[in-house]
Amino acid sequence: MILRCRLCHAPIAACDPARLIPPLTSAVFEPLEPGFPPPFPPDVPWEAARCPQCRHHPQGYAPDGAKSLETDQGTWPLPGSDRPEAAAPVPKPDATGPTPKRDTPQRRNR
């Protein structure tokens, strides 16, 4: 699948749909063709990735833009973006387990 820029529609990067799981990273996007440099520096967070053509973020800046990607197959919804309850796991109150009892004898001098 080819990632396209939402703003200038330029093809930017090759990507595997199976890897497009939020939170996205720049590392999941690969060069359009082997031998080309990666479209984004791998150490750049996805929020800071920029289209090589227009220097804007490939998803644009609309609030809903982060929920999908523009690709050569049309708008690709990112998994989990339409299921807020699944994206926010409920923390378990007893996740830490019972407090371990310390075997420290409390001796009192009588």
> Using CB under 5 A as the criterion, which residues of the chain lie in contact with Zn ion when the complex forms?
5, 7-8, 51, 53-54
Nearest to Zn ion of 47, 108 (CB atom) = 47
Burial 63-91 (b: 16+ CB within 10 A, else e): eeebebbbbeeeebebeeeeeeeeeeeee
Nearest to Zn ion of 21, 36 (CB atom) = 36
Nearest to Zn ion of 14, 79 (CB atom) = 14
Position 13: which residue type?
A
User: Shortest gap between Cβ of 84 and Zn ion (angstroms)?
Assistant: 29
